[in-house]
Amino acid sequence: MRATDRQIDYIIDLWNQVNDGDAKYLSHTDLPLTQREKKGGMTKTEASGYIRDLLRQRDEM
């Protein structure tokens, strides 16, 4: 099942927090995304993994 827009927005928001960035799209981040993920094919499970990793990074700041 495809990741929700809310999950994608949360990933971008967390990435901006961790990196003091202002990315608006996943392609503006340095996340190690596959071509499929960059083109909107990220699954809910994959999105949850990125969220988990970014939350861990944020909490370590």
Mean pLDDT (whole number) for 13-22: 97
Number of domains in the chain: 1
**Residue 38 reports pLDDT greater than 90:** no
Per the structure block, which two tokens stand in for 58?
Answer: 């944020």
Local structure of 35: helix, strand or coil = helix
On whether the pTM is more than 0.85, the answer is yes
Which residues 6+ apart lie within 8 Å of 12 measured at CB?
A: 23, 24, 25, 26, 28, 29
| Percent of the chain residues past pLDDT 90, beyond the cut | 89
Domain with 44, as residue range(s), is 5-59
- For the chain, how many residues are written? 61
